[in-house]
Chains A and B, each alone.
Chain A
Amino acid sequence: MSDPISPVSPLDLDEKEKTFLDATELILNMGPQHPATHGVLRVILKLDGEKVLGLECMIGYLHRGVEKIAENRTYTMFNPYVDRMDYVAAVSNGLGYCEAVEKLLNIQAPPRANYIRVILTELNRIASHQLWLGTHALDIGAMTPLFYTFRDREEILKIFERYCGARLTTHAFRIGGCQYETYSGFEKDVKRFLDFVAPKIDEYEELLTTNRIWVERTTKVGVISAKEAIALGVTGPVLRASGVKWDLRKAQPYAAYKEFDFEIPTGQNGDTYDRYLVRMAEMRQSMRILRQAVEGIPEGPIMAKVPKVLKPPVGEIYHSIEAPKGELGYFIVSDGSTQPYRVRVRPPSFVNLQALDLMCRGQLIADVVAVIGTLDIVLGEVDR
């Protein structure tokens, strides 16, 4: 005990200690209050030494019954609630919900509204990815990116604040379009932000992409093949990093995405490092979309003609969008009244989290933290 460097000889152990060291399996509880679980995720790990044999996720700590609330609110009243699911990408949530109800009502948002929607959604995608990068890097031990990304994300939140008064749960869109016209200088602000953030993203990459520790901690960690990812319903950057070129903005375009020229970044190995590269490339593609959208924003109304009381005809609709985390879908059943009969949210984080077990098997405990980070889950959306 006095010299911690010299290894303890097994011969010195008594029977009890021997049994302990020989034990092959250990059940370890991680969370729900754990800084690396990004909220209130509880993971129960089955370990062999430091190696993960399997794990189970315990979720539901943030369950608020969003789907039940929807059934007791009108279509318009439920709109702000969706922002509280994936609260770091609230704009995407609102876009998906508004478009789903619009489809059900058979109305279309005017082109100008669609452009505003694309601009805000893509800004939000960059903000979401920045938050992911900062926290993910912090989990793995790189502290600086957190300060950089939060500093730069602030600029996006300032644009949101100037546009609609809120920074996080923005409630930016309305069914039928947008409530607010852009403020004077909106386009200039977005352009200024794009010029500001381009070198910043290079800066993040300088810190990490060839950083030996980062590469060692992420390469071949949490590997998921394309086939496994599809079978598990995984979507978003996690699927694309496994080599599947699938993005709803291209596959089934919505809003104004058809009009923009951009690429779908993909990876090959499906490991944590590739997912990092895919998200970094996605931020740059979002900037590309933003430049085109800000240049080409058309004049015109920002709201379609929408009745004061929304009563969609009897029927049901499924509409999904490419949220920063993956496919975010809304399945809405209307009974012809002012309140939805049923709203089902298909949350990307919930489905992606299912893959955690597969991705962590055979890895070390420290890698579990890396894999939770790379999945980019938001517990508000997992639990709803």
Chain B
Amino acid sequence: MPEETKSPSSPPPEGGGKPAAANPPTEKPVAAAAAKPAAPAKPAGPTPEPWDAPVVAALKRLFGSGVQALTYLGQNYLEVDRSLIPEILQILRDQEQFDYCVDITAVHYPQRPRQFEVVWILYSHPRNERVRVKTQIADGEAIASAVPTWPAANWLEREVFDMFGIQFSGHPDLRRVLLPEGWKGHPLRKDYGIIQQDQEWVQINLGIESGQ
């Protein structure tokens, strides 16, 4: 089962707003069909492996066990303690030349004690390398804003705030960006239904009974 091979630091998401998909009868033929193609080691699925690089060594020297470096399907990522985020992002930019902040996003795991995983996707123009930095935070906790490090983070963080309700401390202008001001709820949380809407907002602003 691929679920068991995932690293312990990120338990598998289950349920979370969608029907539990792993029902045994359908599981078997799929696994059999997946085994047929020549692709190596298909049924088990690849597992994250430790990632060794000078960057990682430098970070481990500074932060010890606060940083975990892994690689999955050839893509490198760092799992980092929340408190270390501002420092690590700064070091990645200043010393490791990750000058381009590609994206900032989040994933909601309602069953975890710390529900949100915030992800920074970084790229280095001089090194032509990508790295993802991930951290877990609880609902209501704030995370340091990356706007002072990369101005590109501005709207990206606003979108994460808009969709998940994650606070970025030190952000110059943390407001909703895609949804209208005054909207209640954060749609990309798993407990927000697919056809759910802020009916009150719709009634007041659009003058119709329901947006559905």
Contact = CB atoms under 8 A, between A and B. Distances in A.
A231 B150 contact: yes
A314 B103 contact: no
A233 interface: yes
Interface stretch (B37-45, B60-68, B136-144): B37-45
Interface of A: 59-60, 63, 65, 67-69, 71-72, 103-104, 106-107, 230-234, 244, 246, 251-252, 304-309, 311-318, 320, 327, 329, 331, 333, 335-339, 341-342, 344, 346, 350-351, 353-354, 383-384
Tell me the interface secondary structure of chain B in the complex.
Answer: loop
B105 A354 contact: no
B13 interface: yes
Interface stretch (B51-59, B84-92, B94-102, B198-206): B94-102
Contacts of A341: 13, 16, 107
Given A315-B72, A336-B2, A233 B102 contact: yes
B103 A313 contact: no
Contact of B130 (A69, A233, A246, A318): A318
Contacts of A314: 2-3, 5-6, 12, 45
A344 B30 contact: no
B174 interface: no
Contact of B152 (A231, A244, A336): A231
A335 B30 CA distance: 15
Interface string B140-156: 00000000001110111
16 contacts: A59-B178, A232-B151, A309-B30, A311-B30, A313-B46, A316-B72, A318-B75, A318-B102, A327-B102, A329-B102, A329-B121, A335-B13, A336-B2, A344-B103, A346-B103, A384-B178
A316 B128 CA distance: 21
Contact of A231 (B151, B156, B180): B151
A308 B102 CA distance: 33
Contacts of B177: 59-60
A305 B36 contact: yes
A287 B12 CA distance: 46
B47 to A, nearest CB: 8
A307 B34 contact: yes
Contacts of A234: 152
Nearest to A333: B107
A330 B119 CA distance: 13
A234 B101 CA distance: 10
Contacts of B39: 106-107
B188 to A, nearest CB: 6
Interface of B: 2-3, 5-6, 12-14, 16-18, 20-22, 26, 30, 33-34, 36-39, 42, 44-46, 48, 72-73, 75, 99-103, 105, 107-108, 119, 121, 125, 128, 130, 132, 150-152, 154-156, 159, 163, 176-180, 187-188, 192, 194
A331 B179 contact: no
Contacts of A305: 36-38
A140 B118 CA distance: 42
Contacts of B34: 307, 311
B46 A106 contact: yes
The 8 closest A-B pairs by CB, nearest first: A313-B45, A337-B21, A233-B152, A60-B178, A305-B37, A313-B2, A307-B33, A346-B103
Contact of A251 (B128, B163, B188): B128
Nearest to A228: B151
A230 B2 CA distance: 38
A69 B100 CA distance: 29
Contact of A351 (B46, B119, B155): B155
A244 B18 contact: no
A67 B21 CA distance: 19
Contacts of A338: 21
B48 A315 contact: yes
Contacts of A59: 177-178
Contact of B22 (A230, A233, A316, A337): A337
Contacts of A342: 107-108, 188
A67 B72 contact: no
Contacts of A384: 178
